[in-house]
Amino acid sequence: MGAIYWLRTAILLGLLTGVLLAIGAFIGGTAGITVALALALLMNFVSYWFSDKIVLAIYGAKELSEEQAPKLHEIASELAKKFNVPKPKLYLIETHSPNAFATGRDPKHASIAVTAGLLHALDKAELRAVLAHEFSHIKNRDVLVATIAATIAGAIAYIAYIARWLAIFSAFGSDEREENIISLIVLAIVAPVIALIIQLAISRAREYLADETAAKRASCARELISALRKLEHYSARVPLNANPGTAHLFIVNPLSANSIVNLFSTHPPIEARIKRLEKIA
């Protein structure tokens, strides 16, 4: 199953890049493609090196020493050996809403942040399962994949923004120019929506893969099912004031109460994730 998720991710990233190149070519031909690619590469470079520090700062995460959280460090040390990755730094976010996320450009520079609510809501076995899910993201380099997807989608949104202004400044002229203006407006509206849908589909595929990897490597399918049920219940009662741009990082969607359609959700439905885990269990 893991190979299927990797193939799906590769196809979706290819589609996302295709949308970026298409909108760049439409607006500026070969030069437009070059600008679009350069913009995407620049955004990827910045995100690759600094996104972990930015997201930890957004939530005021504080690093946890072994003296402060011996149980958490014990679990992390055990899982690091199971997943054959360096032990990541552990951080605490002071909020009652239970959640967790992994970040970092590669396994050697990874961090896992947990909320105070998560430590209170779960027992040790469930907490281990949640950490195993985050270790899976680190092992599968999902943070890098998500960063690439987000930056390409961001480049598309920026170019679409330019297209809207081009349409405004070119509002008067010949019939042919008016047709181009209409095309620009349609492209400026449709392209970012398509990019967002593809980006979110990538995010959902990576969540399924992280669940599967955790369940198999750490033998914790049932514990992860139990943890997901608890997190869904508590998160609905105690929502996390999360930045929408970082929602995809968390183990459960911190914005789930605002998600209207699964197509526009960063995470698969909890029940869908549980059904897949039950097959493994």
Positions marked active-site: 134
For residue 145, the number of C-alpha atoms closer than 13 Å in the C-beta half-sphere is 31
User: For the chain, what is the domain count?
Assistant: 1
pLDDT tens per residue across span 46-59: 766 777 888 899 89
Q: Position of tokens 């002071």?
A: 94
CA nearest neighbour of 86 among 67, 112, 66:
112
Residue 98 has a CB neighbour count (10 Å cut-off) of 27
How far is it, in rounded angstroms, from Cα 275 to Cα 266?
Answer: 18
Over 70: is that where the pLDDT of 173 sits? no
Strand partners, 93: 115
pLDDT tens per residue across span 94-138: 999 999 999 988 899 999 999 999 999 999 999 999 999 999 999
pLDDT tens per residue across span 239-278: 888 877 788 889 998 875 444 455 668 899 999 999 999 9
Over 70: is that where the pLDDT of 178 sits? no
Whether the model clears a pTM of 0.85, i.e. scores above it, the answer is no
How far is it, in rounded angstroms, from Cα 21 to Cα 43?
Answer: 15
Q: How many residues does the chain have?
A: 281
The residue segments making up the domain with residue 86 are 2-280
Dmax over Cα atoms in the chain, in whole Å?
Answer: 73
Over 80: is that where the pLDDT of 34 sits? no
